[in-house]
Structure 1
Amino acid sequence: MATQDTVPDAYDDLLERYKRASYLGDAGQVLAWDQEVMMPEGGTPARSKQKSALSGAQHDITTSDAYSEALEASEAADLPQPEASVVREIRREYDRDAKVPKSLVERISEETSNALPVWKEAKSESDWSQFASKVETLLNLKREYAEHIDPDADTYEVLFADFEPWLDLSVAEDILAQLRDELVPLIQELNEADADLASPFAGGTYPDDDQMALARDTLERLQYPFDRGRIDTAPHPFSTGTQFDARVTTRFDESDPISSIGSVIHEFGHATYTLGLPGEHYGTPLGQHRGLSVHESQSRLWENHVGRSKAFWEGYAPIVNEHFGTDISPQAGYEGANQLYPNNLIRVEADELTYHMHIILRFEIERDLLAGDLDVEEVPAVWNDKMEEYLGVRPETDAEGCLQDIHWSHGSFGYFPTYSLGSVMAAQLFAAAEDDIPELDAKIRDGEFDALHDWLTENVHRHGQRYKTNRLVKEATGSEFTADAFVAYANEKFGDLYGL
């Protein structure tokens, strides 16, 4: 760590300004959480103005002359690590933020807040036409946003960099193509296999209260600290917060508790990453997550490599039975959590393999929308056609199809590739953890997660944004970021389950 003698006053000034902007951003996250979880339905007009004001104030700080001067002086100082990484990250953000007018930042914030209740209503009535105009408005705003940042670049590429700043879009495209090439024939082979996996929850009714009690016990088993978090319900599960307060949400289907179990563990993965960021660096790049691909790697690691593992269900099945009054065996629970479902309409309820077809589908639709090659009114038909092509099912309603996810109401175009990137990264990280942690399966079975928490904190969480994405993966695993570990894992796990 650098000493005060090696760090100029300009760096301290820059960091204080950056922290103030970060605190405003975190306050905006709390307002967003409240809007999705607690706020009365009529509160949107005020909430949209509040969030817009915060976004504008944050933009004022990070685009001011004083901020720019402190940044330039810090760069000229030839700082040591990790201060040089902090300045690198601030420079990347500044070069984007300074090009975007404050009025556009405020309008995007206001429009996304206004779009949320419209999406909720459109989904409840399964009517894309109610939401289409909001999507059109947000697409136009995001095109304008990307044009300010880099008028010569592909719009989608500019937006993708908001969520994954240090992996080129070409890397995401290559990985998505590899997943499509590897998984489509594997899925076909699995569907044709003569296997009869258990569906232990089929035909039952599982009340919301019982599922919430199980969700809380699941989080406690995973060592989620309720003194720094909470669990609530939301129309679309999510996690948000800081290393001092990281909250999770889920939703319930009384006929299918597996979907909630998966979402709880998934959002726990996000939260445990957030909580593992170094508290002493709160408000600085060293106290912030590396990007959405890394964030998704943590949620997918816990959801799939832990929560869908045989070892986990050996210890977890008795807990499920206690809550639901069932007599599910560990093997049945394991099979139920991992079987491929033919009626695969909803992404967050998808099995581990066909999940990626959902990502590819939305990625292709978003690219065409942003490029102007697809009209907003055409989305339901194109969505349904692609679902039939990639997954062999056709949604009967918009709620099961193009309205199922919340992300477009947030204006989050360019986000979806990070789900698959994160899944691939999770496999690579977990393979390295298995090599480093003796008897990890036994620890997972016995509900002893300290070793895995410690490994992830040491190799991922504590670094914040010190390393670029590929460097972080290489530091943790010893290898460049690739999809090879995921492909090997998928073939081994599902080949064994389905007797290939």
Structure 2
Amino acid sequence: MATDAAGADAESAPEAYTELLETYKRVSNVQNSAGLLSWDQQVMMPEGGNPARSQQLSTLSSLAHELLTDDEVGERLDELEDADLTDERAAVVREIRRKYDRAVSVPSELVEEISTASSEALPAWEEAKAEDDFSTFAPHLEKHIELKREYAEHIDPEKDPYEVLFEDFEPCLPLEQAESILEELRDTLVPMIERIRESGDDIATGAFTKEGEYPEAAQEELCRDVLSTLGYPWERGRLDTSSHPFSSGTMFDARVTTRFDESDPLGSLLSTVHEFGHATYNLGLPDEHYATPLGESRDLSVHESQSRLWENHVGRSKAFWNVLLPAFKEQFPKAEDVTLEEAYEAANQVYEDNLIRVEADELTYHLHIIVRFEIERALIAGDIDVEEVPEVWNDKYEEYLGVRPETDSEGCLQDIHWSHGNFGYFPTYSLGSVMAAQLYDAAEADIDDLEGRIEEGDFEPLHEWLTENVHRHGARYETNDLVAQATGEDFTADAFTDYVTEKYGDLYGIDA
């Protein structure tokens, strides 16, 4: 018997629902195609291909917008407003309604202009970063800010523009709730990091020295090994390199990228585990709901919770290093004398001089996020000008992290997000870390001896728990409801603050 995207008899679905879903599938497939072209642009496209790629992505963006905002979509949504729908179908309609209401507010010309600006900004950012020349990227950043202010004005002229932009990435969490969680992180982490630094304890001394080189080829082989060990299905994915690690795809094709620094073997390794978390979320979405809201992830905070869970709660754990260390030593003979305790400490060292977000330790990472959050809010509000960004960035790094970038490449040009015009994205990284701790706590409570399973290289129970409690639901539940369904608790920072207080208290011998 035929079924629809909600898994119910297709014949029982209202005609308006069936027609709405068919249109949405076309929108989704256009967007997925654009995503694949974007992946190619960042990974494999020849250097000279950008003029054509810019037009291709702009056209697909405009086409998806036109399909979603067609009058018939609005009519079908209106017809279904008071329809008697199953819970899953009601969730599908809710998600399409949210996207439709936002999209219909924005003119197609503006959508196309934003897409073109993004395609043109990406190579400018790459050049600016390579040449340490912020002025190359500055006009593109200015253009993005102008366009995104206009975009926010179209959607809701009465709202704080930044709040509107934040809703693009996290539509189900109020910005006020997000800010409250971020404030709790700051209040917990700043004094904790201070106590760690005052302790003078360099726990990772001698473990993975940065003297000498860890060849890129060996790092890549180790990363592929780790992906296989974690259960990455190569028939539905691939590993490549890019200037900024990212993951892209669907439940049928979920690709990851990493980058290599021959002086830092942990950077590529933890980035790969992080991106695996994103990919395994996509891969865990139900195949039968492809191209529908029930086959889509629940926005970026939840997506980031999956990557941070695998990176931090698994990848930085002693249990995981018990599995990994023999393979690590095989690839890098210079580490032959490293003990399990030393490896664990090296993976969890709190750095004093780290400038790069994606290379940051688990604690200072969130101060990197706060810097970006504060700067982009000020940019959108018009409180600072683009030309001031390098100095403001450097000042905030000195204030919050005690270090000052010497170049813009290691400062305000290090992230790709603003080249895409993604303002409001950064808070989801910290929100995801907080959510990861709460989800992992719940998984530990439900899975018998989870740490022991990981120590033996058995990751399937954790995979199954996450698929059952998070992945398989797609976008059926809103964020707070999904967390409550999975953990039995409201979404708060409590599990995260408890986790870092205990873990780093033990590592550094500091008081809670």
Q: Per the shorter chain, which TM-score range? A: over 0.9
Cα distance between partner residues in 2 of 1:393 and 1:307: 27
Q: CA deviation at 1:74?
A: 2.1
Residue 3 of structure 1, CA deviation = 3.3
| Counterpart Cα distance in 2 of 1:196 and 1:62 | 54
Q: Deviations over 1:138-186 (max 9, x none)?
A: 1101111110000110010000000001000111111111111111001
Percent identity of equivalent pairs: 64
Moved more, 438-447 or 232-241: 438-447
- Which of 448, 452, 456 is the aligned partner of 1:438? 448
The structure 1 residue matched to 2:330, chosen from 304, 314, 322, is 322
Measure, in 2, the Cα distance between the counterparts of 1:62 and 1:4: 22
Q: Would you say 1:371 and 2:381 are equivalent positions?
A: yes
Q: For residue 353 of structure 1, what is the aligned residue in structure 2?
A: 363
CA contact (8 A) 1:290 1:468 kept: yes
Secondary structure of 2:476's aligned partner: coil
- Of the three residues 77, 85, 93, the one matched with 1:87 is 93
Structure 1 residue aligned with 2:67: 61
Q: Does 1:201 align with 2:208?
A: yes
Q: Report whether the alignment pairs 1:15 with 2:21.
A: yes
Question: What residue is the counterpart of 2:136 in the other structure?
Answer: 130
Paired letter, 2:454: I
In 2, the alpha carbon distance for the partners of 1:35 and 1:106 equals 18
Q: Letter of the aligned partner of 1:371 in structure 2? A: A
SS of 1:247's partner is strand
In the alignment, the residues of structure 2 paired with residue 245 and residue 445 of structure 1 have an alpha-carbon distance, to the nearest angstrom, of 29
Secondary structure of the corresponding residue to residue 179 of structure 1: helix
Per the alignment, do residues 196 and 373 of structure 1 end up closer, same or farther by CA in structure 2, a change over 3 Å counting? closer
Alpha-carbon distance in structure 2 between the residues aligned to 1:479 and 1:76 = 31
1:71-103, Cα deviation, whole Å (9 max, x unpaired): 211223121210000000010001000010001
Against the structure 1 CA distance between its residues 6 and 75, is the aligned structure 2 distance closer, same or farther, given a 3 Å change threshold?
A: farther
Other-structure match for 1:230: 238
Q: Is the 8 A contact 1:246 1:274 kept in 2?
A: yes
What's the secondary structure of 1:103's corresponding residue? Answer: helix
> 1:195 Cα shift?
2.6
Amino acid at match of 1:40: P
Tell me what 1:28 maps to. Answer: 34
TM-score, with normalisation over the residues of structure 2?
A: 0.97
Which of 111, 121, 124 lines up with 2:117 in the alignment?
A: 111
Q: How does 1:201-280 map to 2 (within 5 A)?
A: 201-202=208-209, 203-280=211-288
Deviates more, 1:248-257 or 1:75-84: 75-84
Matched, 1:397 2:404: no
Name the SS for the 1:316 alignment partner. Answer: helix
Shift of 1:197: 0.8
| Counterpart Cα distance in 2 of 1:458 and 1:4 | 24
Aligned partners of 1:102 and 1:7: how far apart in 2?
31
Cα distance in structure 1, aligned partners of 2:122 and 2:163: 25
Question: What does residue 427 of structure 1 align with?
Answer: 437
One-letter identity of the residue aligned with 2:41 = Q
Contact 1:201-1:255 at 8 Å conserved across structures: no
The SS at the match of 2:350 is coil
Asked whether the equivalents of residues 345 and 395 of structure 1 are also in contact (C-alpha less than 8 Å), the reply is: yes
Deviation at 1:424, TM superposition (A): 0.1
The answer for the alignment partner of 2:52 in structure 1 is: 46
| Match among 292, 304, 309 for residue 301 of structure 1 | 309
SS in 2 for 1:115: helix
User: How many residue pairs are counted as aligned between the two chains?
Assistant: 500
CA distance change for structure 1 residues 281 and 144 in 2, over 3 Å: closer, same or farther? same
Aligned-residue offset at 1:331 = 1.1
| Structure 1 residue runs without a partner (length 5+) | none
The DSSP-based 3-state class of the residue aligned with 1:75 is coil
SS in 2 for 1:415: coil
Retained in 1: the 8 A contact 2:34–2:60?
yes
SS at structure 2 position matched to 1:363: helix
Report the secondary structure of 1:76's partner residue.
coil
Work out the CA distance in 2 between the residues paired with 1:76 and 1:11: 12
Equivalent residue, structure 2, for 1:406: 416
Q: Indicate the SS of the match to 2:373.
A: helix
Task: Output the CA distance in 2 between the equivalents of 1:411 and 1:421.
Answer: 20
Q: One-letter code of the match for 1:308? A: R
SS at structure 2 position matched to 1:393: coil
Q: Give the Å deviation of 1:194.
A: 4.8
Partner of 1:498: 508
- AA of the residue aligned to 1:365: I
CA distance in 2, matches of 1:253, 1:322: 19
User: Whole-Å Cα distance in 2 between the matches of residues 267 and 461 of structure 1?
Assistant: 16
Unpaired segments ≥5 residues, structure 2: 1-6
1:399 counterpart SS class: coil
- The residue type equivalent to 1:384 in the other structure is N
8 Å contact 1:194–1:498 — kept in the other structure? Answer: no
Question: Which residue among 124, 137, 146 is the counterpart of 1:140?
Answer: 146
- Aligned residue in 2 for 1:461: 471
Match 1:387 to one of 388, 397, 404: 397
Question: By how many angstroms is 1:60 displaced?
Answer: 1.1
Contact 1:301–1:426 (Cα < 8 Å) also in 2: yes
Structure 1 Cα separation of the partners of residues 224 and 8 of structure 2 = 42
Structure-1 separation of matches of 2:498 and 2:148? 38
Q: Give the whole-Å Cα distance in 2 for the aligned partners of 1:194 and 1:414.
A: 36
**Displacement of 1:5 after TM fit?**
5.2
Over aligned residues, Cα RMSD in angstroms?
A: 0.9
